[in-house]
């Protein structure tokens, strides 16, 4: 079971899962591919970009250049239930 944090959003979970399964992408490509999966996964590029930056600031993602993000080892550990996201400051 994942060790959630109050600052994590549903979009954060979807971003982490998507990048873990499919590799590195910018927020616009994440938006396009999530929207193809289901209507309840429709987010704006701006919102996804903001959430990617927040996840990168907390060490769960890494900006690998050109606005493209990659999941980090810590992000993978969170998805696997091996890392407590509540241990990261949400501010």
Per-residue pLDDT of the chain (91 residues; tens, 9 = 90+): 888 899 999 999 999 999 999 999 999 999 988 877 666 667 899 999 999 999 999 999 999 999 999 999 999 999 999 999 999 976 5
69 C-beta neighbours (distance < 10 Å), count: 29
- Pairing mode, strands 61-65 and 68-71: antiparallel
Q: How much is the pTM?
A: 0.91
* 47: Cβ contacts below 8 Å, ≥ 6 apart: 11
Do 58 and 87 form a contact (C-beta atoms < 8 A)?
A: no
Residue with token string 């919102």: 47
């Amino acid at each position: 079971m994942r060790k959630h944090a109050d600052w994590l959003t549903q979009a954060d979970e979807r971003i982490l899962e998507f990048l873990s399964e499919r590799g590195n992408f910018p927020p616009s490509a994440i938006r396009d591919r999530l929207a193809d999966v289901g209507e309840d996964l429709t987010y704006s590029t701006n919102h996804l970009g903001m959430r990617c930056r927040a996840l990168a600031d907390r060490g769960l993602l890494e900006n690998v250049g050109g606005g493209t993000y990659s999941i980090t080892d810590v992000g993978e550990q969170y998805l696997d239930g091996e890392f407590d996201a509540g241990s990261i400051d949400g501010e």
